[in-house]
Chains A and B, each alone.
Chain A
Amino acid sequence: MGTMRDRAAIIGVGNNQYGKMTAAVSPLVPLAAAFKNALADAGIQRDEVDGILVNIGTPFGVDYDQVSEAFGLDIRFSDQTWTHGRQMSGVLAHAAMAVDAGLANYVACVCSINWARAGTVGDHGQFQDDREIGGAHFEHPYYGMTSPGGAWAMAARKYFDRYGATSADLAEVCVSIREHALRNPLAVMKKPLTVAEHQASRYVCEPLHLYDYCQTIGGACVVIVTTPERARNGPHKPIYIAGHQGMCAGRAEATGARPGLGIHQQDESYPVPRERDLLVYKMAGVERSDIDAFYTYDAMSSIVWMALERFGFCKPGEAWQFTKGGRIGPGGELPVNTHGGLLSEAHVSGWNHIIEMVRQLRGECGERQLPNAELLQWGTNRGDSLILRN
């Protein structure tokens, strides 16, 4: 079997100061700040960047051509994804493969999101509306099914009903992730959250409450990837991409759910996890129990349960018990999203999670620093995963 293990490394990360932006602010503006910060962090010059990969794109992100022109880059390797956050880890893997294959020396992975430019995601005229067979979150506008949260709410309801979990159990996920955010000066959510406040908050798409949703405060992130040889010359210790597995797709997969839940066309008897869901550990040469903290795409709180079950941290239907009592919070057995995630830090499509993982592995996280962080895992309900090591 081929491997990506330790064949590429992250040498520099940068972000802007996350916060609300008006629609008048071009996403290029926060990205310029993030790009400068990442170059300085990596100890390289702008003209050394010869690869660029973009996640998200217009209308609320940036496109590869405008970034390259605007920032005066001279690029020989570029690509860009669909306008969804789910592509984050695949983009980073693409960067790793590109430097390993000699297609570029330094690839800048960039994401900049100004949510104010997205309008009300779910109002009329959205690009999802008329896609053949429905939108990416089951959008069916003529039924009023028009917002991404609707998909997660469908999966959460099914999960509650099938396994006996409640919204109050889910609130514990939000509370723990907020606890992490309170230790992170970058996080936009600054106040503690309680289960009672979560329960008293309004429904957005029932059964999900306001605090089950991430806030739509974006920002910009840049992650610079190069070969291990080049990485060793940098000012920081390289953070190696030890393992990766791609995002799964097909009739076993459904937005907001892990396989086997019974959403959309999912077969409820489908086994979780399958062997191929765990190949990332094999590639990295580690055991799941070696993982120091877990990071996932928490656009909605319920995704945390789906991801924990998909990677076998607990059995199907048991994540709602696993996440009780602060087990995923600061100092817990398996801290999840130690920066506050999309729920409480900012929504930069998961790139802010990668930046946090890098800073944790370098030991730069101050009050929230994990003791002896050596192996961190990104993984989502869709099966994509990255293991980073220092």
Chain B
Amino acid sequence: MTAQQDIPAKPLPAISDFNRPFWEGTRVNEFRMQRCNHCKKLWAPNGPVCPHCFSDDYHWEKLSGKGKIASWVVFHKLYHKAFANEIPYNVAFVELEEGPRVIANIVGVDNKDIRIGMPVEAVFEKINEIVTVPKFKPR
């Protein structure tokens, strides 16, 4: 058996009633977030009510997909075996232009060149017919 065959498939996001509109958005290459119809604020992570005013009247809105890196790390130790071919790989907090911060990988740049404050924009990686995962690249 080769090492390659020992590597399990990468995990997929858990799509639920809670976050389905987000994943429907990424499928058409849109980065969507919930916006409150009452206080007009956005929020992340997804939730059933607005954490600012506690209203449950909201809509999913397409955002610019642009932001900047708020912090980032590089995994050198392999924890999740599915990432065996990617070590060392990065994970970042991206602060969206609209305010909230989200977790994602940064692509299109060497790990050593990533900096806090670096401007980035969303790109969309199709995994299968249902799941498209958003990542960010320098802009």
- B70 interfacial contact with A, CB 8 Å: yes
Shortest CB distance B108–A (Å): 16
Give the chain B neighbours of A150 by CB distance below 8 A: 73, 75, 91
Contact B73 A143 (CB under 8 A): no
Knowing A121-B79, A143-B103, the reply to whether A133 touches B71 (Cβ < 8 A) is no
- Inter-chain CA distance A144–B101, complex, in Å, is 17
Contact A145 B103 (CB under 8 A): yes
Interface residues of B in 38-52 (CB under 8 A from A): 44-47, 51
- B81 interfacial contact with A, CB 8 Å: yes
Contact A154 B93 (CB under 8 A): yes
Contact A205 B81 (CB under 8 A): no
- With both beta carbons as reference points, the residue of chain A lying nearest to B12 in the complex is identified as A142
7 tightest Cβ-Cβ pairs between the two chains A and B = A122-B79, A133-B45, A130-B14, A206-B74, A141-B11, A153-B73, A158-B71
Q: Which bracket fits the contact residues of A?
A: 35 or more
Of B18, B19, B79, B86, the most chain A CB neighbours within 10 A belong to B79
Give the chain B neighbours of A134 by CB distance below 8 A: 45, 103
Per-residue 0/1 for A331-362: is the Cβ within 8 Å of any B Cβ (1 yes, 0 no)? 00000000000000000000000000000000
Q: Which of A122, A132, A161, A207 contacts B73 (CB 8 A)?
A: A207
Contact B103 A124 (CB under 8 A): no
- Inter-chain CA distance A342–B88, complex, in Å, is 26
Of A158, A202, A262, A264, the most chain B CB neighbours within 10 A belong to A264
Give the chain B neighbours of A122 by CB distance below 8 A: 79-80
Give the chain B neighbours of A87 by CB distance below 8 A: none
Shortest CB distance A386–B (Å): 30
Of B46, B76, B93, B101, the most chain A CB neighbours within 10 A belong to B93
- B53 interfacial contact with A, CB 8 Å: no
- B105 interfacial contact with A, CB 8 Å: yes
Shortest CB distance B29–A (Å): 17
Per-residue 0/1 for A140-181: is the Cβ within 8 Å of any B Cβ (1 yes, 0 no)? 111111110010011101100100000000000000000000
- A115 interfacial contact with B, CB 8 Å: no
Shortest CB distance A127–B (Å): 13
Contact B103 A144 (CB under 8 A): no
Knowing A129-B11, A133-B47, A143-B91, the reply to whether A203 touches B74 (Cβ < 8 A) is yes
Contact A124 B76 (CB under 8 A): no
Binding site for A on B (CB under 8 A): 8, 10-14, 16, 18-19, 44-47, 51, 70-77, 79-83, 86, 88-89, 91, 93, 100-101, 103-105, 116, 133
> Interface of chain B, helix or strand or loop or mixed?
loop
- Inter-chain CA distance A140–B74, complex, in Å, is 14
- A233 interfacial contact with B, CB 8 Å: no
- A123 interfacial contact with B, CB 8 Å: yes
- Inter-chain CA distance A142–B130, complex, in Å, is 14
Shortest CB distance B83–A (Å): 5
Shortest CB distance A170–B (Å): 14
- A3 interfacial contact with B, CB 8 Å: no
- With both beta carbons as reference points, the residue of chain A lying nearest to B116 in the complex is identified as A161
- With both beta carbons as reference points, the residue of chain A lying nearest to B134 in the complex is identified as A143
Shortest CB distance B103–A (Å): 5
Contact A144 B73 (CB under 8 A): no
Give the chain B neighbours of A140 by CB distance below 8 A: 13, 91, 103
Contact B73 A264 (CB under 8 A): no
Of A122, A157, A262, the most chain B CB neighbours within 10 A belong to A157
Contact B75 A155 (CB under 8 A): no
Contact B45 A157 (CB under 8 A): no
Shortest CB distance B121–A (Å): 17
Shortest CB distance B99–A (Å): 9
Shortest CB distance A210–B (Å): 9
Knowing A158-B71, A204-B76, the reply to whether A265 touches B100 (Cβ < 8 A) is yes
Contact B46 A124 (CB under 8 A): no
- Inter-chain CA distance A153–B77, complex, in Å, is 13
Contact B10 A202 (CB under 8 A): no
Contact A265 B11 (CB under 8 A): no
Give the chain B neighbours of A202 by CB distance below 8 A: 76
Q: Which of A133, A138, A203 contacts B46 (CB 8 A)?
A: A133
- A276 interfacial contact with B, CB 8 Å: no
- A251 interfacial contact with B, CB 8 Å: yes
Give the chain A neighbours of B77 by CB distance below 8 A: 147, 203-205
- A113 interfacial contact with B, CB 8 Å: no
- Inter-chain CA distance A202–B88, complex, in Å, is 12
